[in-house]
Amino acid sequence: MLSASEPVGVTETDGHAEFAVTVPPAPREVAILNAVQAGVGAVPGVLEAARGMSHFGEHALGWVGIAAVGYALDRDRRSQWAGVAVGAVGAHAASIVIKRVVRRPRPNHPSVQVNVSTPSKLSFPSSHATSTTAAAVLMGRLTGLPLPAVLVPPMLLSRIVLGVHYPTDVLAGSALGAASAAAVLAAEKKFGVK
């Protein structure tokens, strides 16, 4: 068994060797992907909705757009709306850094249908899950609505329906997003943002 410090793959980048630990999927993860795609993914309209969510969440742009609208319309809480944007973008950036370290490839098993294009071939963690969780937690606290319960599960499920992430990718992404939101909330408290 390899330890986390042992490189599994070596690639050349601009003439420099780059070491990365790759995390292969467990066979159960492929089975879960198959079950989700054959089940909820086969329901009429679900695939189209999942694609729409994918485009909305790409690079956290949909969440930044909502934060911008909140910032423009809710003058008394502009700092918190800015925090939503910072949290979503920061969470997305953190997920990209982790992806480049872990370098887990996206699902490529013949039984998995890939139903949307992606900007990279890296899978762990899901950037959509990360930024959505961060935005939902921050907007939920700001509005008093149960947004994490309403927004996060559909986004996580959509990434599996689309065949672009394994279950552990979306779960890890969501955990990272929650941690990112907690960091924003801690910073707001420290600096007295109200």
Q: Which domain holds residue 149?
A: 25-190
The answer as to whether 132 is a domain residue is yes
pLDDT, tens only, 135-181: 999 999 999 999 999 999 999 999 999 999 999 999 999 999 999 99
The answer as to whether 66 is a domain residue is yes
The answer as to whether 7 is a domain residue is no
Question: What CATH code is carried by the domain that includes residue 51?
Answer: 1.10.606.20
The answer as to whether 2 is a domain residue is no
What is the total residue count of the chain? 194
Contact predicate 56/162, CB 8 Å: no
The answer as to whether 64 is a domain residue is yes
φ/ψ bin of 163: left (φ > 0), alpha (ψ from -120 to 50), beta (otherwise): left
**Structural domains of the chain, count:** 1
Interatomic CA distance for residues 39 and 83, integer angstroms: 37
Q: Average per-residue pLDDT in the chain?
A: 88
pTM: 0.85
Interatomic CA distance for residues 151 and 56, integer angstroms: 12
pLDDT, tens only, 60-90: 999 999 999 999 999 999 999 999 999 999 9
